[in-house]
Chain A
Protein backbone atom coordinates (compact mmCIF):
# COMPACT_ATOMS: atom_id res chain seq x y z
CA UNK A 1 0.00 0.00 0.00
CA UNK A 2 1.44 3.38 -1.00
CA UNK A 3 1.25 6.33 1.33
CA UNK A 4 0.01 8.58 -1.50
CA UNK A 5 -2.85 6.18 -2.09
CA UNK A 6 -3.71 6.25 1.60
CA UNK A 7 -3.52 10.04 1.65
CA UNK A 8 -5.94 10.25 -1.28
CA UNK A 9 -8.39 7.93 0.52
CA UNK A 10 -8.10 10.09 3.63
CA UNK A 11 -8.77 13.26 1.64
CA UNK A 12 -11.84 11.69 0.01
CA UNK A 13 -13.21 10.64 3.40
CA UNK A 14 -12.56 14.13 4.77
CA UNK A 15 -14.32 15.78 1.83
CA UNK A 16 -17.34 13.57 2.42
CA UNK A 17 -17.29 14.35 6.11
CA UNK A 18 -16.93 18.14 5.99
CA UNK A 19 -20.11 19.13 4.29
CA UNK A 20 -22.12 22.16 5.23
CA UNK A 21 -25.30 21.37 7.14
CA UNK A 22 -28.09 23.74 8.00
CA UNK A 23 -27.70 24.68 11.72
CA UNK A 24 -31.46 24.53 12.16
CA UNK A 25 -31.49 20.93 10.93
CA UNK A 26 -28.64 20.15 13.36
CA UNK A 27 -30.60 21.82 16.16
CA UNK A 28 -33.73 19.79 15.44
CA UNK A 29 -31.74 16.57 15.14
CA UNK A 30 -29.78 17.20 18.36
CA UNK A 31 -32.93 18.06 20.32
CA UNK A 32 -34.62 14.92 19.07
CA UNK A 33 -31.63 12.72 19.92
CA UNK A 34 -31.23 14.27 23.38
CA UNK A 35 -34.89 13.61 24.11
CA UNK A 36 -34.64 10.06 22.77
CA UNK A 37 -31.63 9.46 24.99
CA UNK A 38 -33.58 10.61 28.06
CA UNK A 39 -36.53 8.45 27.11
CA UNK A 40 -34.30 5.40 26.54
CA UNK A 41 -32.55 5.92 29.85
CA UNK A 42 -35.83 6.20 31.74
CA UNK A 43 -37.25 3.18 29.95
CA UNK A 44 -34.18 1.09 30.73
CA UNK A 45 -34.25 2.11 34.36
CA UNK A 46 -37.95 1.42 34.63
CA UNK A 47 -37.51 -2.01 33.02
CA UNK A 48 -34.70 -2.83 35.41
CA UNK A 49 -36.73 -1.75 38.45
CA UNK A 50 -39.84 -3.63 37.31
CA UNK A 51 -37.91 -6.81 36.48
CA UNK A 52 -36.14 -6.61 39.84
CA UNK A 53 -39.41 -6.08 41.70
CA UNK A 54 -41.03 -8.92 39.75
CA UNK A 55 -38.22 -11.32 40.68
CA UNK A 56 -38.35 -10.21 44.32
CA UNK A 57 -42.15 -10.60 44.31
CA UNK A 58 -41.90 -14.10 42.86
CA UNK A 59 -39.37 -15.08 45.49
CA UNK A 60 -41.43 -13.43 48.24
CA UNK A 61 -44.41 -15.56 47.18
CA UNK A 62 -42.41 -18.52 48.49
CA UNK A 63 -42.94 -17.24 52.05
CA UNK A 64 -45.19 -19.53 54.09
CA UNK A 65 -46.03 -18.90 57.71
CA UNK A 66 -46.08 -22.64 58.36
CA UNK A 67 -42.51 -23.14 57.06
CA UNK A 68 -39.67 -23.57 59.58
CA UNK A 69 -38.43 -20.23 61.02
CA UNK A 70 -34.90 -20.79 59.63
CA UNK A 71 -36.35 -21.10 56.14
CA UNK A 72 -38.40 -17.91 56.46
CA UNK A 73 -35.49 -16.03 58.02
CA UNK A 74 -33.28 -17.14 55.10
CA UNK A 75 -35.84 -15.95 52.57
CA UNK A 76 -36.19 -12.56 54.27
CA UNK A 77 -32.41 -12.15 54.43
CA UNK A 78 -32.03 -13.01 50.75
CA UNK A 79 -34.82 -10.65 49.68
CA UNK A 80 -33.40 -7.84 51.76
CA UNK A 81 -29.92 -8.23 50.28
CA UNK A 82 -31.23 -8.43 46.71
CA UNK A 83 -33.45 -5.37 47.24
CA UNK A 84 -30.47 -3.40 48.58
CA UNK A 85 -28.34 -4.47 45.59
CA UNK A 86 -31.07 -3.39 43.17
CA UNK A 87 -31.59 -0.06 44.95
CA UNK A 88 -27.85 0.64 45.01
CA UNK A 89 -27.54 0.00 41.27
CA UNK A 90 -30.57 2.16 40.34
CA UNK A 91 -29.51 5.07 42.58
CA UNK A 92 -25.96 4.99 41.23
CA UNK A 93 -27.15 5.07 37.62
CA UNK A 94 -29.21 8.20 38.34
CA UNK A 95 -26.28 9.79 40.14
CA UNK A 96 -23.77 9.02 37.37
CA UNK A 97 -26.08 10.32 34.70
CA UNK A 98 -25.28 13.91 35.62
CA UNK A 99 -22.21 15.21 33.84
CA UNK A 100 -20.61 18.68 33.80
CA UNK A 101 -18.50 18.90 30.64
CA UNK A 102 -18.30 22.70 30.83
CA UNK A 103 -16.11 22.51 33.94
CA UNK A 104 -12.37 23.19 33.67
CA UNK A 105 -10.54 20.12 32.41
CA UNK A 106 -8.99 19.22 35.75
CA UNK A 107 -12.29 19.38 37.63
CA UNK A 108 -14.04 17.39 34.92
CA UNK A 109 -11.42 14.63 35.11
CA UNK A 110 -11.72 14.61 38.92
CA UNK A 111 -15.49 14.25 38.55
CA UNK A 112 -14.99 11.33 36.16
CA UNK A 113 -12.70 9.72 38.70
CA UNK A 114 -15.37 10.01 41.36
CA UNK A 115 -17.85 8.27 39.07
CA UNK A 116 -15.54 5.36 38.38
CA UNK A 117 -14.65 5.12 42.08
CA UNK A 118 -18.38 5.02 42.92
CA UNK A 119 -18.92 2.17 40.44
CA UNK A 120 -16.02 0.23 41.91
CA UNK A 121 -17.30 0.87 45.44
CA UNK A 122 -20.76 -0.41 44.47
CA UNK A 123 -19.32 -3.61 43.00
CA UNK A 124 -17.16 -4.17 46.07
CA UNK A 125 -20.04 -3.42 48.45
CA UNK A 126 -22.35 -5.80 46.62
CA UNK A 127 -19.87 -8.64 46.70
CA UNK A 128 -18.62 -8.03 50.22
CA UNK A 129 -21.81 -7.24 52.10
CA UNK A 130 -24.76 -8.48 50.06
CA UNK A 131 -23.80 -11.38 47.81
CA UNK A 132 -22.63 -13.85 50.44
CA UNK A 133 -25.50 -13.07 52.89
CA UNK A 134 -27.99 -13.40 49.99
CA UNK A 135 -26.61 -16.81 49.04
CA UNK A 136 -26.51 -17.88 52.71
CA UNK A 137 -30.14 -16.76 52.96
CA UNK A 138 -30.95 -18.82 49.86
CA UNK A 139 -29.26 -21.89 51.31
CA UNK A 140 -31.04 -21.44 54.69
CA UNK A 141 -34.37 -20.94 52.91
CA UNK A 142 -34.10 -24.04 50.75
CA UNK A 143 -32.29 -26.17 53.35
CA UNK A 144 -35.10 -25.51 55.83
CA UNK A 145 -37.52 -26.98 53.29
CA UNK A 146 -35.26 -29.83 52.13
CA UNK A 147 -36.13 -33.38 53.06
CA UNK A 148 -32.69 -34.97 52.80
CA UNK A 149 -29.05 -34.21 53.58
CA UNK A 150 -28.16 -34.86 49.92
CA UNK A 151 -30.38 -32.02 48.82
CA UNK A 152 -28.80 -29.67 51.35
CA UNK A 153 -25.34 -30.61 50.07
CA UNK A 154 -26.47 -30.02 46.49
CA UNK A 155 -27.81 -26.59 47.48
CA UNK A 156 -24.57 -25.64 49.15
CA UNK A 157 -22.65 -26.73 46.04
CA UNK A 158 -24.96 -24.69 43.77
CA UNK A 159 -24.67 -21.62 46.02
CA UNK A 160 -20.88 -21.95 46.14
CA UNK A 161 -20.67 -22.24 42.36
CA UNK A 162 -22.96 -19.23 41.90
CA UNK A 163 -20.87 -17.26 44.38
CA UNK A 164 -17.65 -18.23 42.59
CA UNK A 165 -19.15 -17.29 39.20
CA UNK A 166 -20.33 -13.89 40.38
CA UNK A 167 -17.06 -13.27 42.14
CA UNK A 168 -15.14 -14.14 38.93
CA UNK A 169 -17.37 -11.76 36.94
CA UNK A 170 -16.75 -9.02 39.50
CA UNK A 171 -12.99 -9.49 39.23
CA UNK A 172 -13.16 -9.57 35.44
CA UNK A 173 -15.26 -6.39 35.26
CA UNK A 174 -12.93 -4.65 37.66
CA UNK A 175 -9.73 -5.72 35.88
CA UNK A 176 -10.86 -5.26 32.27
CA UNK A 177 -13.22 -2.36 32.55
CA UNK A 178 -12.95 -0.13 35.58
CA UNK A 179 -9.38 -0.27 36.85
CA UNK A 180 -7.78 0.64 33.48
CA UNK A 181 -10.01 3.73 33.28
CA UNK A 182 -9.17 4.66 36.85
CA UNK A 183 -5.43 4.29 36.16
CA UNK A 184 -5.79 6.37 33.02
CA UNK A 185 -7.59 9.13 34.94
CA UNK A 186 -5.04 9.02 37.75
CA UNK A 187 -2.22 9.43 35.23
CA UNK A 188 -3.98 12.44 33.80
CA UNK A 189 -4.57 14.00 37.23
CA UNK A 190 -0.93 13.40 38.06
CA UNK A 191 0.02 15.21 34.85
CA UNK A 192 -2.19 18.18 35.86
CA UNK A 193 -0.59 18.26 39.31
CA UNK A 194 2.94 18.15 37.86
CA UNK A 195 2.22 20.81 35.27
CA UNK A 196 0.72 23.14 37.88
CA UNK A 197 3.78 22.59 40.11
CA UNK A 198 6.22 23.34 37.30
CA UNK A 199 4.36 26.51 36.32
CA UNK A 200 6.14 29.60 37.73
CA UNK A 201 4.33 31.50 40.51
Chain B
Protein backbone atom coordinates (compact mmCIF):
# COMPACT_ATOMS: atom_id res chain seq x y z
CA UNK B 1 0.00 0.00 0.00
CA UNK B 2 1.35 3.41 -0.99
CA UNK B 3 1.93 6.05 1.68
CA UNK B 4 -1.14 8.39 1.78
CA UNK B 5 0.97 11.57 1.54
CA UNK B 6 2.96 10.15 -1.34
CA UNK B 7 -0.31 9.16 -3.01
CA UNK B 8 -1.65 12.72 -2.69
CA UNK B 9 1.57 14.12 -4.13
CA UNK B 10 1.64 11.71 -7.08
CA UNK B 11 -2.01 12.39 -7.84
CA UNK B 12 -1.67 16.18 -7.75
CA UNK B 13 1.51 16.12 -9.84
CA UNK B 14 0.11 13.77 -12.47
CA UNK B 15 -3.14 15.71 -12.80
CA UNK B 16 -1.28 19.00 -13.08
CA UNK B 17 0.92 17.54 -15.81
CA UNK B 18 -1.86 15.77 -17.71
CA UNK B 19 -4.84 18.07 -17.21
CA UNK B 20 -5.14 19.06 -20.86
CA UNK B 21 -4.58 15.50 -22.00
CA UNK B 22 -7.35 14.40 -19.64
CA UNK B 23 -9.64 17.03 -21.15
CA UNK B 24 -8.93 15.80 -24.67
CA UNK B 25 -9.60 12.17 -23.68
CA UNK B 26 -12.89 13.20 -22.05
CA UNK B 27 -13.90 15.34 -25.02
CA UNK B 28 -13.21 12.62 -27.54
CA UNK B 29 -14.88 9.80 -25.65
CA UNK B 30 -18.03 11.30 -24.16
CA UNK B 31 -21.03 13.22 -25.43
CA UNK B 32 -20.89 16.93 -24.82
CA UNK B 33 -23.13 16.81 -21.75
CA UNK B 34 -20.92 14.13 -20.15
CA UNK B 35 -17.39 15.45 -20.65
CA UNK B 36 -17.06 16.44 -17.05
CA UNK B 37 -18.60 13.17 -15.85
CA UNK B 38 -15.99 11.19 -17.74
CA UNK B 39 -13.21 13.43 -16.50
CA UNK B 40 -14.42 12.84 -12.96
CA UNK B 41 -14.62 9.09 -13.55
CA UNK B 42 -11.03 9.05 -14.78
CA UNK B 43 -9.80 11.05 -11.81
CA UNK B 44 -11.56 8.75 -9.34
CA UNK B 45 -10.32 5.63 -11.15
CA UNK B 46 -6.78 7.02 -11.15
CA UNK B 47 -7.00 7.95 -7.48
CA UNK B 48 -8.15 4.45 -6.56
CA UNK B 49 -5.62 2.78 -8.87
CA UNK B 50 -2.69 4.65 -7.36
CA UNK B 51 -2.68 2.16 -4.46
CA UNK B 52 -1.45 -0.47 -6.89
CA UNK B 53 1.19 1.66 -8.60
CA UNK B 54 4.54 -0.16 -8.34
CA UNK B 55 6.76 2.03 -10.54
CA UNK B 56 7.10 -0.66 -13.18
CA UNK B 57 6.06 1.92 -15.76
CA UNK B 58 6.20 5.73 -15.68
CA UNK B 59 3.35 7.42 -13.87
CA UNK B 60 2.30 9.11 -17.12
CA UNK B 61 1.92 5.73 -18.85
CA UNK B 62 0.05 4.35 -15.84
CA UNK B 63 -2.28 7.37 -15.89
CA UNK B 64 -2.87 7.05 -19.61
CA UNK B 65 -3.66 3.35 -19.25
CA UNK B 66 -6.21 4.06 -16.50
CA UNK B 67 -7.73 6.93 -18.48
CA UNK B 68 -8.01 4.88 -21.67
CA UNK B 69 -9.66 1.90 -19.99
CA UNK B 70 -12.00 4.07 -17.94
CA UNK B 71 -13.02 6.02 -21.05
CA UNK B 72 -13.66 2.76 -22.86
CA UNK B 73 -15.87 1.48 -20.04
CA UNK B 74 -17.67 4.82 -19.82
CA UNK B 75 -18.33 4.91 -23.56
CA UNK B 76 -19.74 1.41 -23.50
CA UNK B 77 -22.07 2.15 -20.60
CA UNK B 78 -23.08 5.50 -22.03
CA UNK B 79 -23.76 4.14 -25.48
CA UNK B 80 -26.00 1.50 -24.03
CA UNK B 81 -27.89 3.95 -21.82
CA UNK B 82 -28.40 6.26 -24.81
CA UNK B 83 -29.72 3.46 -26.95
CA UNK B 84 -32.11 2.49 -24.16
CA UNK B 85 -33.29 6.11 -23.76
CA UNK B 86 -33.91 6.38 -27.48
CA UNK B 87 -36.14 3.34 -27.34
CA UNK B 88 -38.13 5.06 -24.60
CA UNK B 89 -38.30 8.48 -26.30
CA UNK B 90 -38.63 7.86 -29.99
CA UNK B 91 -40.63 11.08 -30.53
CA UNK B 92 -38.90 13.11 -33.29
CA UNK B 93 -40.25 16.40 -31.85
CA UNK B 94 -38.38 15.69 -28.64
CA UNK B 95 -35.19 15.07 -30.58
CA UNK B 96 -35.68 18.17 -32.75
CA UNK B 97 -36.18 20.45 -29.75
CA UNK B 98 -33.08 19.08 -28.18
CA UNK B 99 -30.89 20.09 -31.13
CA UNK B 100 -28.40 22.87 -30.71
CA UNK B 101 -25.15 23.48 -32.63
CA UNK B 102 -23.11 21.35 -30.21
CA UNK B 103 -25.51 18.45 -30.41
CA UNK B 104 -25.50 18.81 -34.17
CA UNK B 105 -21.71 18.44 -34.11
CA UNK B 106 -21.97 15.25 -32.11
CA UNK B 107 -24.75 13.86 -34.21
CA UNK B 108 -22.91 14.67 -37.41
CA UNK B 109 -19.56 13.39 -36.14
CA UNK B 110 -21.13 10.06 -35.26
CA UNK B 111 -22.06 9.58 -38.92
CA UNK B 112 -18.48 10.04 -40.15
CA UNK B 113 -16.00 7.27 -40.78
CA UNK B 114 -12.53 6.96 -39.18
CA UNK B 115 -10.40 9.48 -41.10
CA UNK B 116 -13.29 11.87 -41.80
CA UNK B 117 -14.03 11.88 -38.07
CA UNK B 118 -10.44 12.84 -37.29
CA UNK B 119 -10.31 15.52 -39.99
CA UNK B 120 -13.59 17.04 -38.83
CA UNK B 121 -12.45 17.02 -35.17
CA UNK B 122 -9.17 18.74 -36.06
CA UNK B 123 -11.08 21.27 -38.16
CA UNK B 124 -13.28 22.05 -35.16
CA UNK B 125 -10.15 22.43 -33.05
CA UNK B 126 -9.10 25.13 -35.55
CA UNK B 127 -6.00 23.42 -36.91
CA UNK B 128 -4.67 24.55 -40.28
CA UNK B 129 -4.46 22.08 -43.18
CA UNK B 130 -0.68 21.98 -42.78
CA UNK B 131 -1.04 21.04 -39.10
CA UNK B 132 -3.70 18.45 -39.90
CA UNK B 133 -1.45 16.98 -42.56
CA UNK B 134 1.43 16.69 -40.11
CA UNK B 135 -0.79 15.14 -37.44
CA UNK B 136 -2.54 12.62 -39.69
CA UNK B 137 0.19 11.92 -42.24
CA UNK B 138 -2.19 12.71 -45.13
CA UNK B 139 -1.49 15.12 -47.98
CA UNK B 140 -2.93 18.60 -47.71
CA UNK B 141 -4.72 18.40 -51.06
CA UNK B 142 -6.41 15.19 -49.96
CA UNK B 143 -7.46 16.82 -46.67
CA UNK B 144 -8.92 19.84 -48.49
CA UNK B 145 -11.00 17.58 -50.73
CA UNK B 146 -12.15 15.54 -47.77
CA UNK B 147 -13.07 18.65 -45.78
CA UNK B 148 -15.00 20.11 -48.69
CA UNK B 149 -17.00 16.86 -48.97
CA UNK B 150 -17.65 16.91 -45.22
CA UNK B 151 -18.84 20.54 -45.44
CA UNK B 152 -21.24 19.60 -48.23
CA UNK B 153 -22.58 16.68 -46.23
CA UNK B 154 -23.09 18.95 -43.24
CA UNK B 155 -24.85 21.59 -45.31
CA UNK B 156 -27.11 18.97 -46.84
CA UNK B 157 -28.01 17.46 -43.50
CA UNK B 158 -28.69 20.69 -41.62
CA UNK B 159 -30.11 22.77 -44.45
CA UNK B 160 -33.51 23.11 -42.82
CA UNK B 161 -32.33 23.61 -39.29
A interface residues (Cβ-Cβ under 8 A, vs B): 1, 3, 5-7, 9-11, 13-14, 17-18, 20-21, 23-24, 26-27, 30-31, 33-34, 37, 99-105, 108-109, 112, 176-177, 180-181, 184-185
Judging by beta carbons under 8 Å apart, are B19 and A176 in contact? no
Judging by beta carbons under 8 Å apart, are B49 and A109 in contact? no
Judging by beta carbons under 8 Å apart, are A30 and B126 in contact? no
In the assembled complex, which residues on chain B have CB atoms less than 8 Å from the CB atom of A5?
A: 101
In the assembled complex, which residues on chain B have CB atoms less than 8 Å from the CB atom of A27?
A: 8, 11-12, 15
Interface check B60, CB cutoff 8 A = no
Could you tell me the distance in whole angstroms from the C-beta of B150 to the nearest C-beta in chain A? 8
What is the size, in residues, of chain B's interface with A at 8 Å between Cβ atoms? 50
Judging by beta carbons under 8 Å apart, are A30 and B23 in contact? no
Interface check B144, CB cutoff 8 A = no
CA distance A21 to B11 in the complex (A): 14
Known: A1-B104, A1-B161. A13 touches B32 (CB 8 A): yes
Interface check B76, CB cutoff 8 A = yes
Contact for B35 among A11, A17, A104, A180, CB less than 8 A: A17
Could you tell me the distance in whole angstroms from the C-beta of B135 to the nearest C-beta in chain A? 17
In the assembled complex, which residues on chain A have CB atoms less than 8 Å from the CB atom of B69?
A: 101-103, 105, 108
CA distance A37 to B125 in the complex (A): 34
Contact for B27 among A14, A31, A101, A180, CB less than 8 A: A14
Judging by beta carbons under 8 Å apart, are A99 and B16 in contact? no
Judging by beta carbons under 8 Å apart, are A1 and B84 in contact? no
Interface check B102, CB cutoff 8 A = yes
CA distance A181 to B74 in the complex (A): 12
In the assembled complex, which residues on chain A have CB atoms less than 8 Å from the CB atom of B110?
A: none
Contact for A10 among B36, B48, B124, CB less than 8 A: B124
CA distance A13 to B125 in the complex (A): 11
13 contacts between A and B (CB under 8 A): A6-B102, A6-B105, A7-B123, A14-B27, A17-B36, A18-B20, A26-B15, A34-B48, A102-B53, A108-B69, A109-B72, A180-B80, A181-B76
Could you tell me the distance in whole angstroms from the C-beta of A106 to the nearest C-beta in chain B? 10
Contact for A3 among B11, B45, B151, CB less than 8 A: B151
Q: 1/0 per residue B79-116: CB within 8 Å of A?
A: 11001100100000000000011101100000000000
Contact for B66 among A3, A24, A101, A177, CB less than 8 A: A101
Complex: chain B residue closest to A9, CB-CB: B101
Judging by beta carbons under 8 Å apart, are B68 and A105 in contact? yes
In the assembled complex, which residues on chain A have CB atoms less than 8 Å from the CB atom of B142?
A: none
Judging by beta carbons under 8 Å apart, are B49 and A102 in contact? yes
Judging by beta carbons under 8 Å apart, are A1 and B101 in contact? yes
Complex: chain B residue closest to A11, CB-CB: B126
